[in-house]
Structures are given as structure tokens and as C-alpha cells.
Amino acid sequence: MALVPALLLGALSVLVMLPAAQHLRALRNGERTQATLQTGGSCMMGRCRVGFEAAGRTVVADLPVGSGGGKDSVGTRLTVRYRADDPRVAAREDDVDGDGAAVLAVASGAGALLLLVLSVLAAIALGRQRRAGSPTGRAPQDAHP
């Protein structure tokens, strides 16, 4: 039963959070500007938006998965870094080290490993219980006529 959550946590770690950490780190040397949080919520899940001026135009950018600042209210001013060739790719300056996403990747990976170990231990215990329940002390065999 714990195998499915273990696989899901492992997939979250490898397929979502590690790439998110790399994406955030790629913006370290991006253009720096002041932005306003336009949509709040679960920024760690990529559901926040910021607005700022870039190259003389107003840009609204989604903050990437792994962003912090979910406790900030709409209208909060913050510093962002964005890609010069595509200002819609932006991240909070506090997040461009990728540490938040990396910590979540490690935590979900560790959770996956723990659930995987528990699944193996449960399978071993179940196998021993079945053997202990048979009269010969061995696993029951199918009768052949």
C-alpha cells in the first residue's frame, strides 16, 4: 500500500522539484527589478504572479514552482530577477539560489525512500506470517492430483 505514495513522492522529487531548483538557479544572473505581487496563494506550487516594468513595457509573470513568498499579500513589493530575452520568465530574488525547491526535493525523496523501505519490511513480515501459519513451517504448496 505504501509503494504508490513512495513512487509519487519520488516522481515529485525527480520530475518536479529538482528541475524547479535548476530553473531558479538559472535566473541568478538575470535582470533585477522591483515587482508587485499580483496574485497570492501557494507560490511553492507556482500559483503566484508578479507585475513589473521591463524594456519599457508592463510584464506579468508567473513565479515558478519552488518559489517562496506564499505568505505575502497581494500588492507586496519584492525584488525579482528575470530573463532579458523573455521577461515573463522571472523569480523572486530570494529564491534564485534554488534552496527552497532543493530542500523540498530532498524531503520528498527521503519520504519516498522511507515509504519504500516500509513497503519492503511489510512484505517481509507478511511472508513470515504466512510461513508461520502453515503446519510445516514452510509456505503452503498447491496440491497436485
Mean per-residue pLDDT over the chain, rounded: 85
- In the CATH scheme, what is the code of domain 29-94? 2.40.50
Residue 134 has a pLDDT of 65
Closest CA to 52 of 41, 44, 63, 42: 63
Report the DSSP beta bridge partners of residue 61: 50
Q: Over the range 39-52, which residues count as b (16 or more CB within 10 Å of their CB) and which as e?
A: ebeebbebebbbeb
Reply yes or no on whether the pLDDT at 23 is more than 80: yes
Type of residue numbered 18: L
- Per-residue pLDDT of 103-128, as tens digits, reads 888 888 899 999 989 888 988 988 88
Local confidence band at 86 (pLDDT 50, 70, 90 cut-offs): very high
SS (H, E, C) the chain: CCHHHHHHHHHHHHHHHHHHHHHHHHCCCCEEEEEEEEECCCHHHCCCEEEEEECCEEEEEECCCCCCCCCCCCCCEEEEEEECCEEEEEEEHHHCCCHHHHHHHHHHHHHHHHHHHHHHHHHHHHHHHHHHHCCCCCCCCCCCC
- Per-residue pLDDT of 36-73, as tens digits, reads 999 877 887 778 899 999 989 999 999 988 787 777 88
Q: What pTM was computed for the model?
A: 0.68
